[in-house]
Chains A and B, each alone.
Chain A
């Protein structure tokens, strides 16, 4: 069997790319190293409870039929995959917050809340914030040239109050910067829109709702999905991709290979070197607490809290195992869903992959518990949330080493390489990057990336664009 395209990795971008191509009657094969699909956004069951690996919230929420929905990324994505909005069963957040020493900004899916919060806490910054917002709304994505490198510089041009700058930057860094302490203007614009101008929601049933839907559609569209089928090598001849070799030594031919394994990882599969600076340094420790009551019963109402215990936000690989001074606190049961009598809190903080890898197995297990305790103590003491620790039913913790093991991303780099490749090109004809390292992050971003690269490299998107603009 010769395929039109092979997709390496059943991550969100891989699944979306495969579906998009299959809807256009391409023969597609998806190869996934693990026994399960989803990649960074997979799922598991522990003590009879369903868990998601990497889902706090879905960004880019828009309500269908509203002016904001017109041309919005989520609507484009749904259109491309022929999925109806209601099939995602999205439950909107009520409110989220950004918590800094002495300041708390609330935001919701109605942008007016953030505007009024900024005006209330930083009256002098009102006009600057309005200008910044205007700019973000109109920001044109451009893949021809690299965007201005510093979101901090952008913020400084519009806002004179350092604390407000830091507060707006933190969620963007935590939800999608592959670079330490800053990000480029374009990434800032994409995430500013995705988080603030659009908004947050969660599918009822968690990531399984989206994954089950994708898998069902893939089957209907005739896509072949092989699990426990790791790719060992990408076959290249005369600078062109010919197919792949599996770890089992089986060879499979295709003229197009789309990979969500990551930039450095994909180039290595094709026997190409990459620069050390291309390896991502950012990873996380996440502790998931199951509580004996919903978080709101403890007075915690925010769906998501981005917090920093320092006035200047710190976002880098920590010197030790973790950095408890900054992170995200996410509460699945605060997405309006009646989850039942229990509550769930997720605490995610920057963590160092080399530090975790250096531990012996016994020290590793003990460090997981100690670090999870430290993070919980830090958020409670700083007043980010009420003390929830005594309400613990149980807790699961994963580290950068866990992330590396289950996703193949070197260094457990959740946001991939700091070098993004917006056209997906690898320098080899027919080998294309999708997902995180193509440049779009998160669940919605990764899926959009899969669709965009499928259009561009697998369908005649170029001719279509010319026809439309004439």
Chain B
């Protein structure tokens, strides 16, 4: 996956977890929570979807890497290197 695809994958997962939020204009540098209504429960769901869809295990101590969209891309890009983009909504 390219970095753009990783960003797309993450946004798609956020959309599944939080269907009533608008994820199209997320600023990659800002905290996700400041831009959309996301709580710790949703966060757990995002981590779960990453595991289910892409087999990526995010250990608890790394949760902090996922606080922004940019952080997600940086952290996940190497882990998703050989994988292809799925659509969470249809999975």
Contacts and interface: CB of A to CB of B under 8 A. Distances in A.
B41 A80 contact: yes
Nearest to A78: B19
Interface string B12-51: 0000011110000000000111000111111111011001
Contacts of B20: 64-65, 69-70, 75
B40 A79 contact: no
Interface in B65-91: 65-67
Bin chain B's interface residue count. Answer: 20 to 34
Which interface residue of A80, A462, A467 has the most chain B CB atoms within 10 A? Answer: A467
Contact of A468 (B40, B60, B61, B65): B40
Contact of B43 (A23, A64, A70, A468): A468
Contacts of B19: 79
Bin chain A's interface residue count. Answer: 20 to 34
Interface of A: 23-25, 64-65, 69-71, 75-76, 79-80, 451, 455, 459-470
Contacts of B38: 468
A59 to B, nearest CB: 20
B41 A461 contact: yes
Contacts of A461: 40-41, 44
A76 B44 contact: no
Nearest to A470: B67
Contacts of B65: 467
B63 A79 contact: no
B23 to A, nearest CB: 14
A468 B33 contact: yes
Nearest to B61: A463
Contacts of B41: 76, 79-80, 451, 455, 461, 464
19 contacts: A24-B44, A25-B51, A70-B37, A79-B42, A79-B45, A80-B41, A455-B40, A460-B60, A460-B63, A461-B40, A461-B41, A463-B60, A464-B43, A467-B40, A467-B67, A468-B32, A468-B33, A468-B39, A470-B31
A261 B61 CA distance: 35
Contacts of B67: 467-468, 470
B33 A464 contact: no
Contacts of B39: 76, 465, 468
Contacts of B61: 463
Contacts of B31: 468, 470
Contacts of A80: 41, 45
Contacts of B44: 24, 455, 459-461, 464
B89 to A, nearest CB: 11
Contacts, number: 69
A463 B63 contact: yes
A23 B40 contact: no
A401 to B, nearest CB: 39
Nearest to B16: A82
A451 B65 CA distance: 25
A346 B66 CA distance: 51
Contacts of A451: 41
Given A23-B48, A464-B47, A468-B40, 9 more contacts: A79-B41, A460-B60, A463-B60, A463-B61, A465-B39, A465-B43, A467-B66, A468-B31, A468-B38
A159 B52 CA distance: 53
Which interface residue of A65, A75, A455, A464 has the most chain B CB atoms within 10 A? Answer: A464
B48 A465 contact: no
A143 to B, nearest CB: 14
Contacts of B52: 25
B83 to A, nearest CB: 19
Contacts of A69: 20
A216 B38 CA distance: 27
A464 B64 contact: no
A138 B40 CA distance: 20
B37 A469 contact: no
A71 B33 CA distance: 12
Contacts of B48: 23-25
A79 B18 contact: yes
Contacts of B32: 468
Contacts of B42: 79
Contacts of A465: 39-40, 43
A303 B19 CA distance: 31
Contacts of B40: 455, 461-462, 464-465, 467-468
Contacts of A23: 45, 48
Contacts of A64: 20
A24 B51 CA distance: 10
Nearest to A469: B33
Contacts of A25: 48, 51-52
A24 B67 CA distance: 20
A86 to B, nearest CB: 12
A64 B20 CA distance: 8
